[in-house]
Structure 1
Amino acid sequence: MEWYLPVIWAGLIGTAVAMYVILDGFDLGLGVLFPIAREEEERDVMMNSVAPFWDGNETWLVLGGGGLWVAFPQAYAVIMPALYLPVIGMLLALVLRGVSFEFRWVAKPSHGMWDIAFAGGSIVAAFLQGVILGGLIQGIEVADGQYAGGAFDWLTPFSVFTGLAVVAGYGLLGTTWLIMRTAGPTQDLGRQYAPMLLALVLGAMVVISLWTPLTVDRIAARWFSLPNFFFLWPIPLAAAGVGYLIWRWLRAGREGLPFVGSIILFLLGYVGLVISTVPYLVPPHLTFWDAAAAPASQIFLLIGTVFLLPLVLGYTAFVYWVFRGKVSPGEGYH
């Protein structure tokens, strides 16, 4: 087997997951913030600020899931039974959010139900994405290449905590997005809640950074053995530094930098999680190479991805460029 093909596909799937978390994270974050918006005009501006982007952002989820299915079928066959309930719940919540996004406008003025659906779908989807992440990090029971655990093995205090942490993280992305893309009361809403959510996210990162090595030996060995300790610990130090910069930028009234800083903070946390699990796709049993499909299958899909990925990136950049600038009350695309 060509050893490099699973590495390429792991990199592509990892990139797709990172792009999804960043791009869909801030519009899910607006749904998290939806219940605290007091005025309908504020909620309208919040939804209009992401109206041109939200459905395209979810393209990356399709690439990540589809790539896992085709390039690493054994990992897919283990992960899905292990996390079937939270995955299905997340997908249903995303569908509910998408439907409510469209129907909210046409249902006015009787749209209260769709406001609840939009907020509920966003919060549930964000929470279950964190639960899925926690379930993967804590490990999946595998025997003879198949899932050997129960239907609710994913439901642990750690996975619930990571679910809440992701909700807070998406909320931080949502608040900093509002600071960057809106003005007036809606921007004030972002400024009001961003410091609190930043504190929650930094606290959650500290707890997870301590919880995982204390409960999972392989993660403790990865981070605290020598010489790994000296090479890897600049990452949490950099995360602390970025968190401090975000706080300073919020205090100084900056608009774009807090959002950029929040993305960097997410990426640093993501890098830390990748370091803790590589080379496992299904910790602690299946590596990239154990779960990989036949080289011919990987190459076939890779050829299509090479052509399509630049189109997706180009379309994404084009849309964000066309709809750049702040969204004012009464303006929007829906």
Structure 2
Amino acid sequence: MKKGILLALLLVMAFSASAFALAPIKLEDQKPVFIYVGPVADGGYNYMHDLGRQAMEKANPGVKGSIVESVPEGPDAERVMETAIRNGAKVVYANSFGYMDHVINVAKKYPDVYFNHCSGYKVAPNASTYFGRMYQPRYLSGIVAGKATKSNLIGFVAAYPIPEVIRGINAFTLGVRKVNPQAKVKVVWIYTWHDPAKEKEATKALFDAKCDTIAMHADTGGAPQAAEELGMWVVGYNYPMDKYAPTRHLVTPVWNWGKYYDYSTKAIANGTWKSQQVWWSMKDGMVDLSKFGKDVKEDTKKLVAAEKQKILDGKWDVFTGPIKGQDGKVVVPQGKKLSDGEMLSMNWFVEGVEGTIPK
């Protein structure tokens, strides 16, 4: 783990904006804009964000948001945010990691506007981050996959080699190996959040490598569709993927973004919003598992329920030692639990993962 990255994260997380207060904004005056990295019609990541937006508006009559879809993670994001602000937006939600620096840049220019950035780690007096502990349902879904595989080879279609994705792969693998120590998880990087064709190609490559089950960190239903055609078991992501793999879907770790959007909207209206790093858990309702597919066995469901209850009770969390790294050496000793800073800067694989993390 790079000490500089960890130090930066810890400094960010120690940031407190308690002395800085933004003026409350009435519901009808907030006019939030939602900046999406892909199209709402992706049936996955962006679709779930938009369901959260809709739930927020339903719970807060008077709020009417707008959306801008398929905004690249680059300087153009700043233009999109500034245009929305000039058109009356008082609240900005940017839903992808790559918007981070651009959110901070625009937040400096508009100190009276509220900014909310999904999955990043940089904050400002008028900019918060929000995310969920997706590694928790990832771990539980790994148990399901580990029970389902017959080849003991499980593929993982992965977007980018950043801590968020690496953390999910590791948590999933820990779940797989809890019930099936012989199983391995093969990672294929596709270097995009949204490209159904690439997601399908990666799935086919994993099938050719003898994987009989896949999991994913990508935004669409491309990988599950390919897996359905090839007869592979599917662990989805974002939105229940039985829509794309009706006969092969096992379970999906899912988001409930409306939890944060509702919280933020109300806090802005009543003057309690503050700059912070929100990282909510299954207990908070931000993340969870979908319904199980018809082929998941009862003993697997019971084991998942028991492990989930341990997490909900706060008795245990996924990255608690002993945990071995990819080389078989202990990385997290017995009884030690990784800190949030260590999880948020994760740049190593656990034992059982086949693949490399590009520099």
Higher RCO structure, 1 or 2 (CA under 8 Å, sep 6+): 1
- What is the TM-score with the length of structure 1 in the denominator? 0.28
User: What is the TM-score with the length of structure 2 in the denominator?
Assistant: 0.26
More helix as a share of residues: 1
